[in-house]
Structures are given as C-alpha cells and as structure tokens.
Amino acid sequence: MAIRNVAGGALGILGASRFSLVSLIVFSLVSNLLMLTGPLFMLQIYDRVLASRSIPTLAALSLLVVVLYGLYAVIEIIRARMSARTAAIFEERLAPLTFSAAVRLRLRPGADCGDPVRNLDTIRSFIAGPAPVALLDLPWVPVYVAIVYAFHPLLGLVAAGGALCIAILLAINEWRSRGIAREVTDTSRRRHADSDDAGRNAEAIVAMGILPAALGRWLGRSQAYSKVQLRAADQTAFYAASTKSFRLLLQSAVLAVGALLVIEGQINAGLMIAASIITARALAPVELLVGQWRHFVSARQAAARLQQALDATVTEPRHLQLPSPTSELTVTELATGPSEAGPTMVTGVNFALRAGDGLGILGSSGSGKSSLARALVGAWPALSGSVRLDGSELEHFGPEVIGASIGYLPQAVELFDGTIAENISRFAASAGPDDVIAAAKAADVHGLIASLPNGYDTRVGEAGTRLSGGQRQRIGLARALYRNPFLLVLDEPNANLDAEGEAALQRSIAAARERGAIVIVVAHRPSAITMVDKLLFLRNGEQIAFGDKDDVLAAISPKAVRAVESRERRIANAS
C-alpha cells in the first residue's frame, strides 16, 4: 500500500498513514476555527465593549481570548509534531524497500531513477516541513471568503477577486518551477557523482596527478549547480514577494472598501476590521505555499523517481518457501546483461552440474566471464533462458534461502565497514562464533586473522581499506564459504594471492566439492582451475565449448582456436 501511495503527489505522500492524515485534517479544522478568534474578538469590542463601556465584559472577553489562543498554540504544536511523526512513519514504511532498491539499482547502470535514499530524504523533509500543513489549510480559503461575503457582498467580491489573482500567480509559479526543480536535482546528482567517483579513485588521482583535472571538473559541476540554485532562489523570491505584497494590498483594499461601506452606513467599523483580518488570514496559506513551492515540486519529482526505482527492483514476496537446493544447477539458453533495457553481454549458455562438480569458466578479457558469474548468482537478470537450482529458477526461492545457498566472491572484493567477524558472517544477527571460525578455517585465513591485534574484532575500515588486497580477497572467500553454501561462484579468486594464498584457495575448493557443493571458478591463470573437473569456454559473449576439462582444453588449444577462427572468416566472407 505504501508503495502505491508514493507516486500520487502530496496527498499520496501524506496518505502513507491514513490515521495521521485524518488526525492532521481534524487538527487543521480546529486550528482554522480558532483563527477566527481575533476577528470575532474585534467585533465584540466594537459592538459590545465600546458601546456599553463595560469593563467586566472586556475582562471576560480578554480571558476567553487568552484561553482560545492558548488552545491554538497547543493545536499548532500538535500539528507540527504530527507532521514530523507522519514523515517518520512514511520513512519507516519505505526505508527497507528503498535501501533494497538502492542496492539493486547499482547492478543496473542504465537505470535513471536517481538515488532512492536521497529521494526518500527529500520526501520526508517535505512532509515534516510547513508546506503540507499549508496544503491542509488551503481548502479554508473559500470558507474565509464566504465569511467575508456574509459581512457584505462587495467585501466578499474583493476578497474573492484577490484570491483568484493569487491562485493565478500560484499556477504560473507551478508551471515555471517544474523545469528548474528538475535542473536542480540533475545538477546536484552529477555533482555528487563526481565527488563519489573521486573518492573511489583517490589513489589513482593522487598518484598520477589527476587531482587538478578532477578538481576542475568538480568545480565546473559546482558552478552549474550554483547557477541553477540561484535561478531557483530568484524565482522563489520573486513569486513569494509578489504574493506577499499583493496579499497586503488586498488586505488594505478590503479595509478601504470597508471604510467606504462604514461611511455609507452599510456596515459597522468592527465588520470592516474583521473583514480585513479574515482576508489576510485566508490568503496566508497561499503565500506560504508559494514560498515552499519549489520544495513541493522537488518532493513530487522525488516521489516519481522513488516509485520508478521501486517498480524496477521490488518483487512481491513469495508465500511458498522452497527448500534449500542440494543436488543440481542447470543453465538453459541463458542470455544476460545488466538490465532488460541494457545490452546483452552473454548469450546461448547451456550446461548442467551436479553436487560435487567443479567448473572453470575460461575466456579472454571481455568474453563475458564475469557477466555470466553475475547471472549465476542472480545479481544480473536472465534476459532469456534460465538458471535453475534443483529445477527451480533463482527468483522462485525466498531471499533468505537463496542467500544462504550461494557463496559469491566478486572480482573486485569490497568489504563493509565493520569487524572481520561481521564481514565473514555477512552481518547476520544470528551468527555464532563457531560458524565464523569454521568459514575462516575453510578459507585457510584463521591464522592470518588470529595474528591481527584485535583478531576477529579487527575493524576493516570503509571498503576494507585497512587490509591489503590479498587479505581482503581471503576474507571475502571466507564470507563466501560461510555456513557451507551449495553453490560457490568465485570470480578471479587468485588475482591478489601469493603462492601460499593460492594453495589455500585450492584446498578450499577441494573441501567444498567434497562436502557436495558445486564450485564455479572464473579464471585467467591456469592454477585456478586445478581443482575443477569441467570447463566452459566463452568468446565474445558466446559459449564455445563445455565439457570435461581435458576435452575442452584440447578443443581450445591455439591450433583448434585458429581453425575455428579461419572457418568463421570463410563463412563471413561467403555471406
């Protein structure tokens, strides 16, 4: 329900909590009724107190006004607190889905949904701000105008005409704010992207003297962001000042018309002043909305982007949970890429493995090895064909089951800012020390961890920067082996390992296969495929050969490869 409410604009955002919305409407009703205290007090002063010169009446009315304004203050405090809590409820409901979408979108580089977490922050800030309360006060504008009209039709017509003019200003502001709000968001996103890129590549930037160029690029983004921010601020200031000055002019116009009516004896002075005050109150929420309109447009655009991100990444939960796979992996006519809209990186892959099998995936750089590995663990979607464990596609398993059944060591190993034990256990709340130590021993990294000053409690730093590349890779292997997953996919697992590390890797692969796991190794170096019995060879994103290791190695020998290439050239020339 909360997901559907995101894209519906301001009312849809506030609709994330129906009880909170209804409560805010009720308190807005009471607040706007209490705002009539001042005009009514003015009427009583002119009609009763001044006419009767009664001090007790003045005292009683003054005491009543103090009580009513005190109640108004309480109501306004409650409204502000409820707005903040409505925003908190909204964020609480969508935070898990938003974070999941932010992670999954990183696997889809072509998706243009912005940062879901920042979009959620934008929406929450809007809900907790004054603009939604002003929106709830907006329906009272015709009520106040009707009250002024009841005082005298001419006063009502002046107030209604002024309200119409301000509504036109609001519509023009809305029309002109859409584009500039989108520009602010886009330039801000590009500016943050450059900063993030520089942080990820800090070593190369400093070592190769790229800092001046990177700084110049970022400053260019910052200048563009500053210019569009200034344009947005100028536009907001123009419409806010215009609305405020027109409201003050309208208040004076009502006062002038009221004075004329008093002179002609059609109304008394109390009604004249009350009409002026009520008119100013009627247009106050419009003035506030104009000042906050850019935030309203930004929140609406953020809601649309967040909805797009959730639609692209969130799947419905499965009620029937399949058991953990234990016997086979089957890949049929698989084609994969980063997203359905993106390019196809690998196509036509077919193979089947049984428990205890070991597969090496070979191919030159750019042949699609890592792309295939991502598809095998579900990080990339199957654009066609399927990846099945025990006959069921990966998405048919619940996230807990499939996560516990797969161990994955990506080519670029990045750890999380936490302890070594937390990283090995995948930050599982139920992780026990025995499971963590068993995984470390399976990866033959227990001794290395024990030699560190704080052992398993050693913090690895952001992205594991406090550890060497080889240490990160071996701890990443221990994380992949945690709780003995059925499918183990290792992408270039020996890229940063020395001879001792490679020997430990081979022992880990052999042990995993002995306990019945399927082990898949993406490799460039021959030593990585020592402990596998089958090979799959890729070239230009297509499967060339699959089978027993010796047969595939013979088929992809330099002589065999040259023969295949020659045959392909002849076919191409003939066509």
Q: Which domains are seen in the chain, by residue range?
A: 2-312 (1.20.1560.10), 328-574 (3.40.50.300)
Assign 562 a pLDDT band (cuts: 50, 70, 90). Answer: low
Helices 116-128 and 55-105: crossing angle, nearest 10°? 180
Determine which of 67-76, 459-468, 486-495 has the lowest per-residue pLDDT on average: 459-468
For the ranges 97-101, 348-352, 424-428, the maximum mean pLDDT occurs at 348-352
| Span 438-464, average pLDDT | 90
**Alpha helices (runs of H) in 346-482, residue ranges in sequence order:** 369-376, 399-405, 420-424, 433-442, 446-450, 469-481
pLDDT in tens, 479-532: 999 999 999 999 999 887 788 888 888 899 999 999 999 999 998 766 678 889
- CA pair distance 358, 488, nearest whole angstrom: 9
Assign 5 a pLDDT band (cuts: 50, 70, 90). Answer: very low
**Alpha helices (runs of H) in 482-541, residue ranges in sequence order:** 499-514
Q: Mean of the per-residue pLDDT values for the chain?
A: 84
For the ranges 265-279, 365-379, 465-479, the maximum mean pLDDT occurs at 365-379
Neighbouring CB atoms inside 10 A of 178's CB total: 12
Please check the confidence at residue 6 and state whether its pLDDT lies above 90: no
Do the beta carbons of residue 524 and residue 492 sit within 8 Å? yes
- Write down the residue that tokens 């406090």 correspond to: 466
The pLDDT value recorded for residue 17 is 58
The pLDDT value recorded for residue 189 is 79
The pLDDT value recorded for residue 389 is 96
Do the beta carbons of residue 338 and residue 109 sit within 8 Å? yes
- CA pair distance 181, 185, nearest whole angstrom: 6
The pLDDT value recorded for residue 514 is 95
Tokens of 92: 């609480």
| Span 36-43, average pLDDT | 84
Please check the confidence at residue 16 and state whether its pLDDT lies above 70: no
pLDDT in tens, 74-94: 998 988 888 888 888 888 888
- Write down the residue that tokens 């970022």 correspond to: 218
Distances (CA, A) of 368 to 150, 269, 303, 384, 543: 77, 85, 36, 16, 9
| Span 457-467, average pLDDT | 84
Do the beta carbons of residue 50 and residue 58 sit within 8 Å? no
pLDDT in tens, 244-300: 888 888 888 888 998 899 888 898 888 888 888 888 888 888 777 777 777 788 888
Determine which of 12-21, 237-246, 280-289, 453-462 has the lowest per-residue pLDDT on average: 12-21
133: exposed, middle or buried (Cβ count in 10 Å: 0-12, 13-18, 19+): buried
- CA pair distance 136, 164, nearest whole angstrom: 18
pLDDT in tens, 165-193: 887 887 887 788 777 877 887 888 788 87
Instruction: Report the percentage of the chain scoring pLDDT > 90.
Output: 27
Written as one string, the DSSP assignment of 25-77 is HHHHHHHHHHTTHHHHHHHHIIIIIHHHT-HHHHHHHHHHHHHHHHHHHHHHH
Please check the confidence at residue 551 and state whether its pLDDT lies above 50: yes
Instruction: Report the percentage of the chain scoring pLDDT > 70.
Output: 91
Do the beta carbons of residue 518 and residue 439 sit within 8 Å? no
Please state the pTM of the whole predicted model. Answer: 0.72
Cross-strand partners of 545 = 537
- CA pair distance 291, 459, nearest whole angstrom: 47
Q: What are the contacts of 305-308 at 24+ separation with CB within 8 A?
A: 305/113, 305/114, 305/116, 305/119, 306/6, 306/94, 306/98, 306/101, 306/113, 306/116, 306/119, 306/120, 306/123, 307/3, 307/6, 307/7, 308/113
122: exposed, middle or buried (Cβ count in 10 Å: 0-12, 13-18, 19+): buried
Written as one string, the DSSP assignment of 137-202 is HTTHHHHHHHHHHHH-HHHHHHHHHHHHHHHHHHHHHHHHHHHHHHHHHHHHHHHHHHHHHHHHTH
- CA pair distance 284, 292, nearest whole angstrom: 13
Determine which of 99-103, 177-181, 424-428 has the lowest per-residue pLDDT on average: 177-181
Through-space distance between the first and last CA atoms of the chain, rounded to whole angstroms: 56
Classify residue 324 by its DSSP letter: P
Please check the confidence at residue 2 and state whether its pLDDT lies above 50: no
Please check the confidence at residue 540 and state whether its pLDDT lies above 80: yes
| Span 155-173, average pLDDT | 85
Over its C-alpha atoms, the chain yields an Rg (Å, rounded) of 34
Neighbouring CB atoms inside 10 A of 222's CB total: 15
What phi, psi does 487 have (nearest 5°)?
Answer: -110, 125
- Residues across the chain: 575
Q: In what order do the strands lie in the sheet with 382-389?
A: 392-393, 382-389, 328-336, 346-354, 542-548, 534-539, 358-362, 518-522, 487-491, 406-409
Please check the confidence at residue 372 and state whether its pLDDT lies above 70: yes
The SS3 call for residue 207 is helix
Classify residue 456 by its DSSP letter: G
Please check the confidence at residue 7 and state whether its pLDDT lies above 50: no
The pLDDT value recorded for residue 86 is 83
| Span 11-36, average pLDDT | 73
- CA pair distance 379, 387, nearest whole angstrom: 12
Please check the confidence at residue 402 and state whether its pLDDT lies above 80: yes
